[in-house]
């Protein structure tokens, strides 16, 4: 069957007459545009680009991440530096302003200083950009810990600051990436604002029926660079069955391996964790081999490799990452899964196209 693709807006048609009608009657619209700040390695933007959106500018303060963005998007303007240093000269109205604003200030794994941390204040800088550019839609992506931080007062404060603009109808929701064709249990908070004159209500994407598992992406994955265990660590991990963790070790080895944390209570199932082929991955982190947050291959006794990390985050195999091995792990681990971004972009497209 022949598929007709509109080069302008990326819509596809299975019948030639529908394609001709689309173009002749000017139903075709130019690609929806976006600017992304705090873009990282580009997982969020990649999902939007794959769905036909056009990036006007990608901003990131980390130089190695900027190298990665330039490598994969040579035609896009990349701004290296803080979002507050961008000199915007935008001729046309921007459809979307979005950003994976740094989340360490709100992370459950960190000290959770929130808005007292300069990284937390970047969200307020983002809100100032929203007011300056007045995009049709804005998107903020963050850790789910923002919802509970300071007993919900931090999120309430941020939403109140957006309300002061008197321009947007705002929705927020925690989404699990595994619900959107990502073989990973990864929960992220999305805050979406639609400009009131658009007069359309945003609806978060419904979970997909199929929930992918690691077997879907690891079974045929080519070998790539990756960290390796030292001999002692490898001997310990050999004792862990697929899907198991430290509790599967003999008691004496448990006590030796965990040390003081052996008697510290719950919350330790990430220690000496071997993943399972028949389940989604636990949330990928900035390294696959920290003692508290192990991500061991389900079958082979080694940490997940770079291409495996990338596939679990649903980057295509031809998406390349710059920097040292540890820098590449960090970029991939911090990224928004591409397929999750694509699902969000589809819901935004429905608002703007309709």
Please report, for the chain, the start and end positions of each structural domain, with discontinuous segments joined by +: 1-30, 31-211+337-353, 215-334
User: CB-hemisphere CA count at 13 Å for 204?
Assistant: 18
pLDDT of residue 30: 77
pLDDT of residue 264: 77
Q: Using one digit for the tens of pLDDT, what is the confidence trace for 191-245?
A: 999 999 998 899 999 999 999 999 999 999 999 999 999 999 999 999 999 999 9
Reading the block at residue 95, the tokens are 């459809």
Does residue 106 surpass a pLDDT of 50?
no
Question: CA–CA distance from 322 to each of 67, 94, 318, 328 (Å)?
Answer: 6, 29, 13, 6
Phi-psi region of 296 (alpha: psi -120 to 50; beta: other; left: phi over 0): beta
Measured between alpha carbons, how far is 287 from 289 in angstroms, rounded to an integer? 6
Measured between alpha carbons, how far is 90 from 242 in angstroms, rounded to an integer? 52
Does residue 118 surpass a pLDDT of 80?
no
Measured between alpha carbons, how far is 306 from 321 in angstroms, rounded to an integer? 9
- Angle at which helix 63-72 crosses helix 325-334, to 10 degrees, equals 80
Question: CA–CA distance from 82 to each of 70, 86, 88, 133 (Å)?
Answer: 17, 7, 13, 17
Question: 């035609």: which residue's tokens?
Answer: 75
DSSP secondary structure letters along 187-254 = EEEEEEEEEGGG-----PPPPPS----THHHHTTPPP-------HHHHHHHTTSPTT--GGGS-HHHH
Q: Are 121 and 178 in contact (CB under 8 A)?
A: no
Instruction: State phi, psi for 198 to the nearest 5 degrees.
Output: -70, -30
pLDDT of residue 291: 80
Does residue 132 surpass a pLDDT of 50?
yes
Q: Are 274 and 237 in contact (CB under 8 A)?
A: yes
Out of 9, 103, 296, 322, pick the active-site residue.
103
Reading the block at residue 180, the tokens are 């959107």
Measured between alpha carbons, how far is 310 from 312 in angstroms, rounded to an integer? 5
Q: Are 36 and 77 in contact (CB under 8 A)?
A: no
Q: Using one digit for the tens of pLDDT, what is the confidence trace for 308-348?
A: 999 999 999 999 999 999 999 999 999 999 999 999 999 99
Does residue 14 surpass a pLDDT of 80?
no
Which class is 215-334 in CATH?
Answer: alpha beta
Question: 């003081």: which residue's tokens?
Answer: 260
Q: Which CATH number fits domain 31-211+337-353: 3.40.1190.20, 3.40.50.150, 3.60.10.10, 3.30.420.40?
A: 3.40.50.150
pLDDT of residue 238: 97
Q: Using one digit for the tens of pLDDT, what is the confidence trace for 250-264?
A: 999 999 999 888 887
Asked which of 9-23, 58-72, 173-187 is least confident by mean pLDDT, the reply is 9-23
pLDDT of residue 266: 66
Strands 293-294 and 289-290: antiparallel
Q: Which helix (H) or strand (E) covers residue 36, if one does?
A: strand 33-37
At 8, the pLDDT band (50, 70, 90 cuts) reads low
Can you say whether the dihedral through the CA atoms of 146, 147, 153, 155 is positive or negative? positive
The average confidence (pLDDT) of the chain is 89
The reply to whether 103 belongs to the active site is yes
């Amino acid at each position: 069957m022949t598929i007709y693709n509109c080069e302008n807006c990326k819509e596809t048609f299975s019948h030639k007459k529908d394609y001709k009608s689309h173009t002749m009657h000017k139903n075709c619209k130019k690609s929806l545009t976006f600017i992304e700040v705090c873009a990282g390695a580009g997982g969020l933007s990649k999902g939007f680009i794959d769905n036909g959106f056009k990036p006007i500018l990608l901003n990131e303060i980390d130089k190695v991440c900027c190298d990665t963005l330039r490598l994969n998007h040579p035609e896009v303007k990349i701004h290296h530096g803080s979002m507050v240093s961008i000199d915007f000269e935008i001729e046309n109205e921007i459809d979307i302003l979005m950003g994976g604003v740094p989340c360490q200030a709100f992370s459950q794994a960190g000290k959770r200083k929130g808005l007292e941390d300069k990284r937390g204040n970047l969200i307020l800088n983002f809100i100032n950009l929203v007011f300056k550019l007045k995009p049709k839609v804005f998107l903020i992506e963050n850790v789910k810990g923002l919802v509970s931080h300071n007993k919900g007062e931090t999120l309430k404060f941020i939403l109140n600051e957006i309300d002061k603009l008197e321009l947007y109808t705002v929705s927020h929701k925690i989404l699990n990436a595994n619900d959107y064709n990502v073989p990973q249990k990864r929960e992220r908070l999305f805050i979406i604002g639609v400009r009131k004159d658009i007069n359309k209500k945003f609806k978060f994407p419904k979970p997909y029926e199929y929930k992918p598992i690691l077997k879907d992406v690891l079974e045929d994955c080519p070998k790539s660079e990756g960290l390796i265990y030292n001999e002692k660590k490898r001997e310990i991990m050999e004792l862990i069955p697929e899907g198991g963790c430290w509790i599967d070790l003999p008691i004496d080895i448990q006590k030796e391996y965990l040390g003081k944390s052996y008697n510290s209570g719950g919350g330790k199932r990430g220690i000496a964790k071997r993943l399972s082929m028949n389940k989604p991955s636990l949330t990928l982190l900035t390294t696959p081999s920290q003692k508290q947050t192990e991500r061991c291959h389900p079958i082979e006794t080694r940490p997940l490799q770079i291409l495996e990390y990338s596939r679990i985050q649903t980057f295509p195999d031809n998406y390349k990452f710059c920097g040292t091995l540890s820098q590449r792990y960090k970029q991939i681990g911090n990224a928004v899964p591409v397929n999750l971004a694509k699902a969000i972009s589809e819901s935004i497209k429905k608002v703007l196209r309709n």
